[in-house]
């Protein structure tokens, strides 16, 4: 108890330092706990969206799960009834506790084999018609049907030896019968006695959107008699009236309630069901609609967690430095006390225990607060749209989970270790050793003593060379686009490089200060003279503060460039691939023969001479001009299977037909990737109807140059002559790179649409739209419907860009970089303020002497500003240079995350002046606020206090 009282007294005495230490622990817990929270939240959002999209694409409910068995085998010692009872118990277990999801519908369906069906009264029904049907039992049928004709079967069955059943409308046609016609099932091998049955009602679905029917068409039952389920269970499943052929269990699960944590339950339940099916029937199947979507989530979860960890490494390093610095300041203020305790017999373990208990108390508080701040950080991650950019986006559903607390405990363990290191080192010192150490201010820090800076630079240079080799290997090999993803090392290695370069600069910086002092030692004014001596002789004590500022600015520069580069290259890629804001394809009337149905005579079709399909151009111009929000639109003809012939050879090519004026005002194209602006090339061919532009690949292949003639055509279209006017590398939507290294380079010809229609053929073209900035896409689509424009394909570029920005990995890059920088600023500001306040308090006597010597308050402020410029200012300059160098060296390797086959326009590193301005404004505000606080504290120091302090 006495130890605890002593610890609490010590903490109250150093309350501001303890609060600073607590803030560091809270931030590191918040940062670390936000990773699993964010991963679960973003994957949760993605999971539901993916399942919804799958349902839209396939038109099948994504929560559907079907298990079915066919009893075609015999298991010795086990009757079919026992097998079905086992399976029913297993399915009920899966429904109640397995999937861990609400169940909208649970449907059991049983079938008998197909039996021969004969009329009881041959005078009423044609006996010569061959009829085969089965008996079906469906649980919950009565609640999900409507009667079209007739009545429902009697509850007590059979009635006078005849079973009453329901049928679908098409069954009357298929089985050539009407309601109330008595029939009998006959099968000498499978039925011990005939089963008499009659249809008493015709049914249809009660609700066509109901999940009960699992997307089944009612014609599925056109050879079935549906009897009440309890009757089927009594007389067939559990009885001996007829053999049971097939049983299925259908679950309509509420996938909107599915959590990422439920995926493991879903997979385990799927395996559980499969195990029971295999044990009870050799012929079985399961159909889990969500399974293919869910399978990749474990891998995505691991990749996202790894990415978040790697991106947070610079900030976590800074937080660790911060904890070490504050803990070091606390132990520095207690070193004399520690040395006295050691001299009086206290063991190192006893002293370390007191510091450990102090750290545990702070850690418990941080564990209680930090995860909730992590929740707030996660919500901010979801609103990120770029570096230091936030937008109004639907809030992510975030919840604290077990992993958040596990990660927090790991982080606190590391934080506690950083707190204990200074205490451990302090317990080694004796009173004499402590006084000697105080006199040796110029001793190297442990970071420089053990050449950590050189080691970090060496590791990062090795990483740099590795990235360079990977880029060369990737461009030489044809890799599938799925093999490209954001590599976590792209964030980790630059962080090590920036830290190493920053530490190396701080190794050299004291030498530079001493050189400046030596050069002007005869001319420096007293204020600057004193400042240069102070900084030059005490460089080690400034280093932790300078490391904070260097890493803050360096990571800020790197993060801004990396985020801007990835966002802009993805943005440009989507715009280039689409060509314009909106792209429409419409239906054209044509004389193409309809596709032959199944069972058609393919042999005869081979003898028919194929002819070119004739199209009728729709007259949509008037309707298109009335669409709201349209700034310009253009007609763009694209023929991918055209060919170009010269005097020597014939080449496959893509043919583009455009109206140069409309196209130039509509299409998106990036400046700077051609020798001249795209519009200059369009103007070049505008005056000659036979003029064309060709791709550089085509020009190089045949040695073509401007002025050369070429012929262009396609299958069943006679080629016509054109003249080459220009050679270009890129054109909207044209992919100049082959899909595999073995394939030849794609070729392209761009000509006039009017010429192509006149000389070659009239075939369907696309409509490209450039919308006004404030245009509403909803109104645009609505107007298309009102104008009766028959659209066969609709591509919305802005929607694709928004989808790209909502990608979890893109959100992580933007959000974590932004939040990492903001936390770095907070830590740097607190460290800056804390250090200088304590430094100022420790130099009260020196300042009092300066004032007594006649140095004015203004000169003291100048000294303080000079000291700030030589420390904080120098750190900011080093950080800017460090971040700029890291960006230029490492950001180009982010093209490892892009498929080089589809990355058009070419990958480009982006430096936006707005980002640099934002960084400087934030840092200047931080330093300005800190200086104002220091100046205020300096103004409150009285000479008599300093003199009294000197007497004491």
Instruction: Write out pLDDT tens, residues 436-471.
Output: 555 555 556 666 777 888 999 999 898 888 887 877
Q: Average per-residue pLDDT in the chain?
A: 82
Q: Say what the pLDDT of residue 604 is.
A: 46
Q: Rounded to whole angstroms, how far apart are CA atoms 445 and 453? A: 11
Q: How many C-beta neighbours within 10 Å does residue 610 have?
A: 9
Q: Say what the pLDDT of residue 106 is.
A: 92
Nearest to residue 301, comparing CAs of 386, 193, 387, 403? Answer: 403
Task: Choose between 420 and 188: higher pLDDT.
Answer: 420
Q: Say what the pLDDT of residue 939 is.
A: 75
**What contacts 167, CB < 8 A, 6 or more positions away?**
175, 199, 201, 202, 203, 221, 224, 225, 226
C-alpha to C-alpha distances, 173 to 146, 169, 177, 204, 237, nearest whole angstrom: 20, 8, 7, 15, 29
**What average pLDDT does this structure show over 630-656?**
89
Q: Say what the pLDDT of residue 952 is.
A: 47
**What average pLDDT does this structure show over 82-92?**
89
**What average pLDDT does this structure show over 826-838?**
75
Q: Rounded to whole angstroms, how far apart are CA atoms 466 and 474? A: 12
Query: Where residue 110 falls among pLDDT bands split at 50, 70, 90?
Result: very high
**What average pLDDT does this structure show over 822-833?**
76
Flag whether pLDDT at 225 surpasses 90: yes
Query: Where residue 634 falls among pLDDT bands split at 50, 70, 90?
Result: very high
Q: Rounded to whole angstroms, how far apart are CA atoms 104 and 89? A: 19
Q: Say what the pLDDT of residue 75 is.
A: 60
Task: Choose between 535 and 201: higher pLDDT.
Answer: 201
Nearest to residue 582, comparing CAs of 660, 666, 655, 639? Answer: 666
Q: Say what the pLDDT of residue 546 is.
A: 82
Range 474-479 contact pairs with CB under 8 angstroms and sequence separation of 24 or more: 474/896, 474/900, 475/900, 476/741, 477/741, 478/739, 478/740, 478/741, 478/742, 478/901, 479/899
Sign of CA dihedral 700, 706, 708, 710: positive
Q: Say what the pLDDT of residue 807 is.
A: 74
The dihedrals phi and psi of 597, each to the nearest 5 degrees, come to -80, 175
Q: Which ranges in 440-488 belong to alpha helices (H)?
A: 446-449, 452-476
- SS3 per residue for 504-526: HHHHHHHHHHHHHHHHCCCCCCH
Flag whether pLDDT at 425 surpasses 50: yes
Helix, strand and coil in the chain, % to nearest 5: 55, 15, 25
Whether 117 contacts 188, CB under 8 Å: no
Query: Where residue 944 falls among pLDDT bands split at 50, 70, 90?
Result: low
SS3 725: strand
Q: Rounded to whole angstroms, how far apart are CA atoms 362 and 13? A: 15
Flag whether pLDDT at 900 surpasses 50: yes
**What average pLDDT does this structure show over 565-581?**
88
Q: Say what the pLDDT of residue 600 is.
A: 44
Q: Say what the pLDDT of residue 1 is.
A: 63
Flag whether pLDDT at 97 surpasses 60: yes
Flag whether pLDDT at 337 surpasses 50: yes
**What average pLDDT does this structure show over 617-629?**
86
Flag whether pLDDT at 884 surpasses 80: yes
Flag whether pLDDT at 712 surpasses 80: yes
Flag whether pLDDT at 683 surpasses 90: yes
Q: Which ranges in 100-192 belong to alpha helices (H)?
A: 169-174
Whether 530 contacts 867, CB under 8 Å: no
The C-alpha angle 498, 500, 504, rounded to 5 degrees, equals 115
Q: Rounded to whole angstroms, how far apart are CA atoms 681 and 800? A: 29
**What average pLDDT does this structure show over 53-74?**
84
Give the best-scoring range by mean pLDDT among 32-41, 452-461, 540-549: 452-461
**What average pLDDT does this structure show over 560-589?**
87
Flag whether pLDDT at 166 surpasses 90: yes
Flag whether pLDDT at 655 surpasses 90: yes
Q: Say what the pLDDT of residue 599 is.
A: 43
Question: How much of the chain exceeds pLDDT 90, in percent?
Answer: 16
Flag whether pLDDT at 577 surpasses 70: yes
**What contacts 84, CB < 8 A, 6 or more positions away?**
237, 244, 247
pLDDT 10s digits, 240-292: 788 888 999 999 999 888 888 788 888 899 999 999 888 888 888 889 888 88
Q: Say what the pLDDT of residue 899 is.
A: 65
The dihedrals phi and psi of 337, each to the nearest 5 degrees, come to -60, -40
The residue with tokens 């979890």 is 808
Q: Say what the pLDDT of residue 598 is.
A: 41
pLDDT 10s digits, 376-413: 878 776 777 666 777 766 666 778 888 889 988 988 88
Task: Choose between 912 and 404: higher pLDDT.
Answer: 404
**What average pLDDT does this structure show over 653-664?**
92
**What average pLDDT does this structure show over 605-616?**
68
Q: Which helix (H) or strand (E) holds 724?
A: strand 717-728
SS3 153: coil
**407-416, 498-507, 915-924: least confident range:** 915-924
Q: Say what the pLDDT of residue 421 is.
A: 84
Partners of 130 in the beta sheet? none
**C-alpha R_g of the chain:** 39
Q: Which helix (H) or strand (E) holds 48?
A: helix 15-58
Q: Say what the pLDDT of residue 775 is.
A: 84
| Omega within 30 of 0 (cis) for the link into 905 | yes
**What contacts 416, CB < 8 A, 6 or more positions away?**
356, 359, 360, 363
**What average pLDDT does this structure show over 772-796?**
87
Query: Where residue 597 falls among pLDDT bands split at 50, 70, 90?
Result: very low
């Amino acid at each position: 108890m006495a130890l605890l009282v002593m610890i609490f007294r010590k903490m109250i005495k150093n309350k501001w330092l303890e609060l600073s230490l607590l803030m560091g622990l809270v931030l590191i817990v918040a940062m670390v706990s936000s990773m699993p929270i964010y991963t679960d939240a973003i994957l949760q959002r993605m999971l539901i969206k993916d399942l919804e999209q799958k349902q839209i694409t396939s038109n099948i409910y994504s929560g559907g799960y079907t298990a079915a068995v066919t009893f075609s085998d015999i298991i010795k010692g086990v009757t079919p009834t026992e097998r079905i009872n086992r399976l029913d118990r297993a399915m009920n277990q899966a429904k109640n506790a397995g999937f861990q999801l609400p169940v909208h519908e649970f449907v059991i369906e049983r079938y008998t084999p197909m039996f021969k069906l004969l009329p009881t009264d041959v005078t009423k029904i044609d006996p010569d018609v061959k009829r085969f049907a089965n008996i079906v039992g469906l649980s919950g049928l009565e609640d999900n049907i409507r009667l079209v004709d007739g009545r429902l079967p009697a509850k007590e069955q059979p009635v006078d030896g005849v079973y009453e059943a329901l049928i679908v409308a098409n069954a009357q046609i298929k089985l050539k019968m009407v309601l109330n016609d008595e029939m009998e099932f006959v099968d000498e091998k499978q039925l011990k006695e005939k089963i008499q049955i009659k249809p008493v009602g015709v049914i249809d679905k009660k609700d066509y959107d109901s999940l009960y029917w699992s997307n089944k068409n009612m014609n599925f039952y056109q050879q079935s008699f549906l009897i009440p389920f309890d009757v089927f269970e009594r007389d067939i499943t559990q009885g001996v009236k007829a053999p049971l052929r097939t049983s299925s269990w259908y679950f309509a699960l509420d996938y909107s309630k599915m959590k990422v944590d439920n995926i493991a339950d879903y997979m385990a339940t799927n395996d559980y069901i499969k195990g029971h099916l295999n044990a009870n029937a050799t012929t079985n199947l399961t159909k889990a609609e969500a399974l293919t979507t869910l399978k990749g989530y474990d891998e995505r979860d691991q990749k996202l967690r790894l990415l978040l960890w790697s991106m947070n490494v610079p900030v976590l390093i800074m937080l660790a430095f911060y904890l070490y610095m504050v803990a070091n300041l606390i132990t520095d203020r207690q070193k004399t006390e520690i040395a006295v305790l050691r001299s009086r017999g206290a063991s190192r373990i006893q002293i370390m225990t007191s510091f450990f208990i102090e750290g545990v108390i702070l850690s418990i508080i941080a564990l209680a607060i930090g995860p909730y701040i992590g929740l707030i950080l996660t919500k901010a991650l979801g609103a990120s749209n770029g570096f230091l950019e936030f937008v109004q986006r639907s809030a992510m559903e975030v919840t604290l989970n077990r992993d958040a607390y596990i990660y927090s405990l790991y982080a606190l363990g590391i934080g506690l270790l950083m707190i204990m290191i200074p205490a451990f080192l302090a317990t080694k010192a004796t009173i004499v050793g402590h006084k000697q150490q105080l006199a040796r201010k110029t001793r190297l820090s442990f970071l420089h003593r053990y050449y950590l800076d050189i080691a970090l630079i060496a590791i990062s240079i090795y990483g740099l060379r590795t990235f360079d080799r990977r880029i060369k290997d990737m461009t030489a090999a044809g890799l599938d686009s799925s093999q490209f993803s954001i590599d976590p090392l792209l964030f980790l290695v630059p962080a090590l490089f920036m830290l190493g370069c920053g530490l190396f600069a701080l190794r050299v910086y004291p030498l530079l200060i001493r050189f400046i002092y030596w050069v002007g030692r005869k001319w420096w004014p007293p204020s600057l003279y004193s400042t240069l001596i102070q900084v030059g002789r005490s460089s080690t004590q400034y280093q932790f503060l300078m490391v904070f500022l260097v890493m803050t600015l360096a990571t800020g520069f790197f993060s801004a460039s990396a985020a801007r580069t990835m966002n802009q290259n993805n943005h440009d890629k989507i715009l280039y691939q689409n060509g314009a804001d909106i792209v429409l394809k419409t239906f054209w009337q044509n004389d193409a023969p309809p596709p032959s149905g199944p069972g058609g005579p393919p042999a005869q079709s081979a003898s028919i001479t194929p002819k070119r399909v004739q199209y009728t151009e729709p007259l949509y111009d008037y309707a298109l001009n009335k669409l709201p929000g349209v700034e310009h639109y253009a007609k763009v003809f694209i023929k991918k299977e055209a060919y170009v012939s010269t005097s020597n050879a014939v080449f496959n090519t893509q043919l583009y037909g455009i109206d140069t004026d409309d196209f130039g005002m509509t299409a998106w194209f990036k400046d700077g990737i051609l020798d001249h602006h795209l519009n200059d090339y369009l103007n070049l061919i505008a005056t000659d109807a036979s003029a064309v532009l060709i791709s550089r690949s085509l020009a190089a292949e045949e040695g073509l140059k401007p002025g050369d003639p070429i012929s262009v055509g396609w299958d069943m279209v006679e080629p016509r002559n054109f003249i080459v006017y220009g050679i270009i590398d890129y054109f909207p939507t044209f992919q100049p790179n082959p899909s595999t290294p073995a394939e030849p380079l794609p070729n392209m010809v761009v000509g006039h649409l009017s010429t192509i229609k006149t000389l070659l053929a009239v075939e369907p073209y696309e409509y490209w739209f450039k919308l006004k900035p404030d245009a509403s896409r909803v109104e645009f689509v609505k107007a298309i419907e009102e104008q009766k424009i028959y659209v066969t394909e609709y591509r919305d570029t802005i929607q694709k860009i928004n989808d790209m920005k909502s990608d979890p990995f893109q959100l992580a890059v933007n959000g974590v970089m932004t939040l990492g920088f903001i936390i770095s600023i907070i830590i740097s500001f607190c460290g800056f303020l804390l250090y200088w306040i304590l430094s100022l308090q420790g130099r009260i006597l020196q300042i009092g002497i300066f004032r007594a010597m006649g140095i004015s308050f203004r000169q003291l402020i100048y000294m303080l500003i000079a000291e700030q410029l030589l420390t904080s200012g120098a750190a900011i300059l080093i950080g800017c240079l460090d971040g700029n160098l890291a960006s230029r060296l490492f950001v180009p390797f982010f093209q490892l995350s892009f498929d080089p086959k589809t990355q058009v326009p070419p990958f480009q590193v982006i430096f936006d002046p707005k980002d640099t301005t934002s960084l400087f404004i934030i840092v200047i505000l931080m330093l300005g606020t800190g200086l104002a606080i220091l100046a205020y504290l300096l103004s409150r120091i009285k000479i008599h206090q300093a003199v009294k302090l000197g007497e004491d």
